[in-house]
A and B are shown apart, each in its own frame.
Chain A
Amino acid sequence: EVQLVESGGGLVKPGGSLRLSCAASGFTFSSYSMNWVRQAPGKGLEWVSSISSSSSYIYYADSVKGRFTISRDNAKNSLYLQMNSLRAEDTAVYYCARDDLTGDLGYWGQGTLVTVSS
Chain B
Amino acid sequence: QSVLTQPPSVSAAPGQKVTISCSGSSSNIGNNYVSWYQQLPGTAPKLLIYDNNKRPSGIPDRFSGSKSGTSATLGITGLQTGDEADYYCGTWDSSLSAGGRVFGGGTKLTVL
Contacts and interface: CB of A to CB of B under 8 A. Distances in A.
Interface residues of B, number: 25
A106 B43 CA distance: 15
B103 A46 contact: yes
Nearest to B34: A104
30 contacts: A37-B101, A44-B103, A45-B37, A45-B45, A45-B88, A45-B90, A45-B106, A46-B103, A47-B103, A50-B101, A59-B97, A59-B99, A60-B97, A60-B99, A61-B97, A61-B100, A62-B96, A100-B50, A102-B51, A103-B33, A104-B35, A104-B50, A104-B51, A104-B90, A105-B35, A105-B37, A106-B47, A106-B50, A108-B44, A110-B43
Interface of B: 2, 33, 35, 37, 43-47, 50-51, 56, 88, 90, 96-106
Given A44-B88, A44-B103, A102-B50, A59 B98 contact: yes
